[in-house]
Structure 1
Amino acid sequence: MADGTALRVAVVGAGAFGRNHLRVYRQLQEAGEPVELVAVVDRDEAVVAAASAQYGIPGFSSVDELICANIGLDAASVCVPTVHHRAAAEPLLAAGVDVLIEKPLAANLADADAILALAREHGRIVQAGHLERFNPAVTAVRGLLHRPMFFESHRLSIFTPRSLDVDVVLDLMIHDLDIVLSLVDSPVREVRAVGLPVLSRKVDIANVRVEFENGCVANFTASRVSTERVRKLRFFQPHQYLSLDFARQDLLMIDVTAAAGMTAEQLAALEQMAKQHPTEGLSLRKVPVVEGEPLRLEIASFLHAVRTRTRPVVSGEDGRAALALALEINEAIAVHTARTGL
């Protein structure tokens, strides 16, 4: 599609995530990008009818029905519940359609491997929908990396009935697992984890410690039963401490050697002190960040990969790696739960 011909795209699943994909594809189309939103799929008759009417596109009740319509589809977003990712993606890939699959890539590694194998067989592109990789603050931090050795991640959310088909590790924490895996670029050596169900039948709050082969350590906390919304990642590397706020798209950098070995609370206090007293031996700098909607950046990146037939920024293999670590964490939580009799 390097000739500028518009890519014909569909959205499979018109729930909360799917509605946003529909919106962004249409916005890109109206902005003059070479893309055309041509179909929506959802098994709920009322949902697909509403989306079809809103965007003036045909609606289908299944992927098979979509494919049988033979509308010349190039690419699709798969936004159905995680347990249905494989069932939705496989017929699309077999029909020669490139796919952007919302995170997590699949419900288990067998499904993920089947998706990736089919993509290789048919020469198709699979991008994993790890939205936060396209957060402008994450993009800005990549140019500042030199040897990250300690991460502290907090992702807290108020409880909603959304995404209860998966636990908090696969729902929320997986964003940060994917980001840290991409920043550390080292195999995982050890995982320790604890988690508890609170308002659902699956784990709603979890705390995890991951140690990498290169010595880096990352602590992750995720909760979907919090009284506040927090999406922050802090990390230390030699002579520098960086604080990233996903929601605000802010990135602060403090040049200081004293930050090594500090707890999360001490790092937060250091950050606050540097803001209030920037001349007292601490160099605080707000790193320039070009703001943008992560989903729009993600979809634009996917369309670029489809057009140029290049590896996506967040490949299917990246999605599998994040899923594998998330499932290892869930196994560690299960072991801890059995050992403590919780």
Structure 2
Amino acid sequence: MQRRPDQDHEDNKRTSTNEFRVSEHLLPEIPTGERKMEHVRLCLNEDVNGQGISTGFEKYRFRHLALPELSFSDIRLAAAFLGEELRTPLLISSMTGGSKTTGLINERLAAAAEARGWSLGVGSIRAAVEKPELSDTFAVRRNAPTIPVIANLGAVQLNYGFGAEACQRAVDIAGASMLVLHLNSLQEVFQPEGNTDFSSLLQRIEALCKKLEVPVGVKEVGWGIDGSTAARLYSAGVSFIDVAGAGGTSWVQVEKYRNQDPMRKAAAEAFADWGIPTSDCILEVRKYNPGRALIGSGGLTNGVDAAKAIGLGADLAGFGRSLLESAVHSEEALHERLAQVEFELRAAMFGIGVRTIAELQGTSRLIKH
């Protein structure tokens, strides 16, 4: 049957506005009422991007170098982070865990990260700290014996009974080499079960940094960290910042789909464009905190985005929801997705004539237009 002239356009429109939609059979074990699986389902099947705001990477472009004077095979992605030697400057950002199905996703993510030399963050381990029977869903070290693994807890839990012992438990569960505390104040406000007491957290974070033997970092979840806030956190003893800026997933929009309160569902629309673009966060945090460990994440979708994040000053580039569909689909799809990001990053480096990640960080060929 012949297609209408506008049919291709409509198909492309559907794909671009809902690129994470997948068939329900790919998530056969999701209990509808389980929060973590609801989050995965919504991130895959609903439009939960922030609206009217972007990462800002589109404002930057690399000035092409027609004569790079190097061989593509000479390009190296090796990097260093907090004293660890890495095969790539790429991170699978914290996403999930806490149920049988999300545990399987974590297994795939861990195996792929190990095979390709990516660092790996896991989703909030709070559930396993409170319910040890869930620990196995975060036990990624068995599939990722050599790469950096980042355990994850909500910083606000420090105001709800979590101390150094609970944080160490989270590190032990994941076999992690470091811990990141996530800041998600607006998500908690819109989440039906939210914890919203964010008072005096800086001093609790400072106390935790002094007690834990592993490095402690702080990340946002999609609204960004500005330079002065980062400076306060570094001064408190935080070892690294993950800006997790705006331009990708908005967790207010995710929680909008879960909230049964009509007023809060309507109010979520007012925050669709909230946050600091990822590119602005990276520039600002680096400007005011030179030499400190920095991860650039938030809305990254390809290796050119990663190159831009590193070119602007990040040490690592983090990918989250843009990997989730592949991770749910199959091990092969996930490996192919990671390989593509690496190829795109290397190609971008070749296009401006840099051999190493250190050269990319110092490049003058990333310009604002």
* Fold match by TM threshold 0.5: no
Structure having the higher strand fraction is 1
TM-score scaled by length of structure 1: 0.31
**Structure with max Cα Rg:** 1
Higher relative contact order (CA 8 A, sep 6+): 2
